[in-house]
Structure 1
């Protein structure tokens, strides 16, 4: 995934965390309200914190872009990032040329000239991350100590980040399951 320097300092941490995690789960909402998720290969994060993907303009997801979520996971490093926003279809042939990779050929057999190939841009409104900044062994020991002592442990950073380019989003959290 190609990553550009971020215009907004608070998005830098999000981009740093997802660097090297090339597959995101994109979740959209179907017309009947169901949430639908599918893995997508991230191609680029632009300077405004928008994520770019290839898709087919005939895909059902192109009609489900009002509210979307991207989930990035690196289980080995215990890094989890959730990005909420909205998406748009962009038909920019020069950008498709610039982002084209042979890895996309199985989905687009005609290559970058496939007439159904378009770009999906996900604009970040708000992002949330959990990042355990210690090794797996330290995390296991900390969980064991917590189980014995009965006291909760802090296993890293957790933060909610707004994109200053977008309207502010409430940080209201539920009392359960944070």
Structure 2
């Protein structure tokens, strides 16, 4: 994912936490149930918005017209970082933006390239994020877990932070 320079301190902290992330889980309400699907984030833009390629055929019925409440989740077990982002998802059909974000890695899903009739964009505009950042070393995580079990309370398990990111629009 391309990460653009962020204008807010919380945006910069979130960008640092997401560095190297390749996959996210997008959760939407579908027929009264919450359902998640994996997506590959293409960009975290300078306005704090995430961009994804999606199938118009499968996603349009879920998102409809306008913005939908959604959640993005990222997990990096190797670094013991976890991120949950609340915001709005909406379909954006921009030939210019598709061309700017296009890469050959998307071709298996969209064989006709950036002009594939099924290709469209999902823009996710965050309002807030929560991050959990545990010890990066597996040995340290195990030691912290053992100390927490012995003490019957969390010890050295990491940091939890609430961030205000994007403008939610």
CA distance in 2, matches of 1:147, 1:46: 41
Separation in structure 2 between the aligned mates of residue 134 and residue 116 of structure 1, nearest angstrom = 40
Kept in 1, the 8 Å contact 2:11–2:166? The answer is no
Q: Which runs of 5+ in 1 are unaligned?
A: 168-178
Aligned 8 A contact 2:78 2:136 in 1: no
Deviation at 1:94, TM superposition (A): 1.3
| Number of aligned positions between the proteins | 166
Q: Partner residue of 1:61?
A: 62
Which structure 2 segments of 5+ residues have no match? none
- 4+ runs deviating over 3 angstroms: none
In the alignment, the residues of structure 2 paired with residue 151 and residue 87 of structure 1 have an alpha-carbon distance, to the nearest angstrom, of 38
Deviations 1:106-134 (A, max 9, x none): 11111111022111000001100001144
- For the 8 Å contact 2:5–2:46, the answer to whether it is kept is yes
TM-aligned CA distance change 1:84 to 1:54, over 3 Å: same
| 1:113-170 Cα shifts (integer Å, max 9, x gaps) | 1022111000001100001144110110111122223332131111111236349xxx
Root mean square deviation, CA, Å = 1.7
The change in CA–CA distance for 1:24 and 1:150 in structure 2 (over 3 A counts) is same
Matched position secondary structure for 1:82: strand
Change (3 A) 1:134 1:115: closer
2:27 equivalent to 1:11: no
Give secondary structure in 1 for the equivalent of 2:117: coil
